[in-house]
Amino acid sequence: MKKTEQMYEGKAKKVFATDSEDYCIVSYKDDATAFNGVKRGTIAGKGVINNKMTNYLMKKLAAEAGVPTHFVEELSDRETLVKKVKIVPLEVIVRNIAAGSFSKRFGVKEGTPLKCPTLEYCLKDDALGDPMINDYQILACGFATEEELNTIADYAFRVNDYLKDFFAGVNVDLVDFKLEFGKTRDGAIVLADEISPDTCRFWDMTTHEKLDKDRFRRDLGNVEEAYDEMMKRVLGE
Ligand code: TMP
């Protein structure tokens, strides 16, 4: 498959067309943003880590958790061939432990284990600041159908069940994470985007040290070291 023109540049990735209608190539950058692009910086080596970690986890989710994904083939340290999908404009957030906006919104102290996992949606719209949206509002606006939303919720909890155990195996609490889904040309819902320290909260189970992008968001220092540590725990590299 040959890379052709750039289709899109996001905050952390570029997407290129290929000479096939059904595939595109994502290229991971080291650029980091937070608070809807207000805070900007670079995390050296992040693109390589996020590319490799995402691919490793997506392969496992497809093979072992029955969650179809857009992953096709890792082409290089930063580039991956994926199925071309139409992204469902929702950020799908699953939480196991209260943190971040959940703690702020509901006054639940960060670090409080939740009695059961939660699922919430935000509309992917930077101009609107990615507002929270519920199932009824999603259906009313036509951002997804009821069947698509049921599939997305089912896959999101399957991802959580699988990854919670996987990360526990490397002494990491999976606090929360954000997924995105896409629709293939034949209408199937597949997991897309990435699963990385940019999009998950990872806390060391013993020390509760943060090993994710909150180190950048909150100016905690040792940002690259945290990404390197997660890469080592997940991929042994
Ligand atoms: P939140 O607590 O800020 O709502 O974040 C919940 C999870 O979603 C956390 O693991 C970080 C991730 N996330 C993204 O991947 N992209 C975003 O734009 C935001 C706000 C959060």
**123, 126, 176, 178: residue to mutate for ligand 1 pocket, most atoms within 8 A of CB:** 178
| Pairing, β 23-28 against β 90-97 | unpaired
Whether residue 137 lies inside any domain: the answer is yes
pLDDT at position 197, please?
98
pLDDT at position 174, please?
99
Q: How far is CA 185 from CA 17, 23, 70, 81, 125, in A?
A: 15, 11, 12, 16, 23
pLDDT at position 234, please?
98
Report which ligand 1 atom has the smallest distance to the Cα of 101. Answer: 2
Tens of pLDDT along the chain (237 residues)? 899 999 999 999 999 999 999 999 999 999 999 999 999 999 999 999 999 999 999 999 999 999 999 999 999 999 999 999 999 999 999 999 999 999 999 999 999 999 999 999 999 999 999 999 999 999 999 999 999 999 999 999 999 999 999 999 999 999 999 999 999 999 999 999 999 999 999 999 999 999 999 999 999 999 999 999 999 999 998
Distance 199 CA to ligand 1 centre (A): 6
Q: At what angle do helices 46-64 and 223-235 cross, to 10 degrees?
A: 30
Report which ligand 1 atom has the smallest distance to the Cα of 199. Answer: 15
Distance 178 CA to ligand 1 centre (A): 6
Q: Give CA torsion, residues 133, 166, 108, 209, to 10 deg.
A: -120
Are 171 and 180 spatial neighbours (Cβ–Cβ below 8 Å)?
Answer: no
Residues with CB under 6 A from ligand 1: 93, 99-102, 176-178, 199-201
199 and 92, same domain (yes or no): yes
Whether residue 54 lies inside any domain: the answer is yes
Whether residue 93 lies inside any domain: the answer is yes
pLDDT at position 1, please?
84
Question: Domain span at residue 34?
Answer: 3-83
Measured by CA distance, the residue closest to atom 16 of ligand 1 is 199
209 and 94, same domain (yes or no): yes
Residue-wise pLDDT tens digits, 33-72: 999 999 999 999 999 999 999 999 999 999 999 999 999 9
Report which ligand 1 atom has the smallest distance to the Cα of 104. Answer: 2
**199, 210, 211: residue to mutate for ligand 1 pocket, most atoms within 8 A of CB:** 199
**What is the CATH classification number for the domain harbouring 78?**
3.30.200.20
Which pair of tokens denotes residue 31? 């650029």
Measured by CA distance, the residue closest to atom 17 of ligand 1 is 199
Report which ligand 1 atom has the smallest distance to the Cα of 201. Answer: 10
Classify residue 108 by its DSSP letter: P
Distance 189 CA to ligand 1 centre (A): 22
76 and 102, same domain (yes or no): no
Report which ligand 1 atom has the smallest distance to the Cα of 175. Answer: 10
At residue 139, the 3 state secondary structure works out as: helix
Whether residue 39 lies inside any domain: the answer is yes
| Pairing, β 39-42 against β 71-74 | unpaired
Sequence-separated contacts (24+) of 75-80 with Cβ below 8 Å:
75/25, 77/47, 77/48, 77/51, 77/52, 78/27, 78/28, 78/29, 78/47, 78/48, 78/51, 79/25, 79/26, 79/27, 79/28, 79/51, 80/25, 80/26, 80/28, 80/51, 80/54, 80/55
78 and 91, same domain (yes or no): no
115 and 196, same domain (yes or no): yes
Name the domain boundary from 83, 111, 131: 83
Classify residue 85 by its DSSP letter: -
Residue of 86, 117, 118 whose CA lies nearest to 8? 86
pLDDT at position 43, please?
98
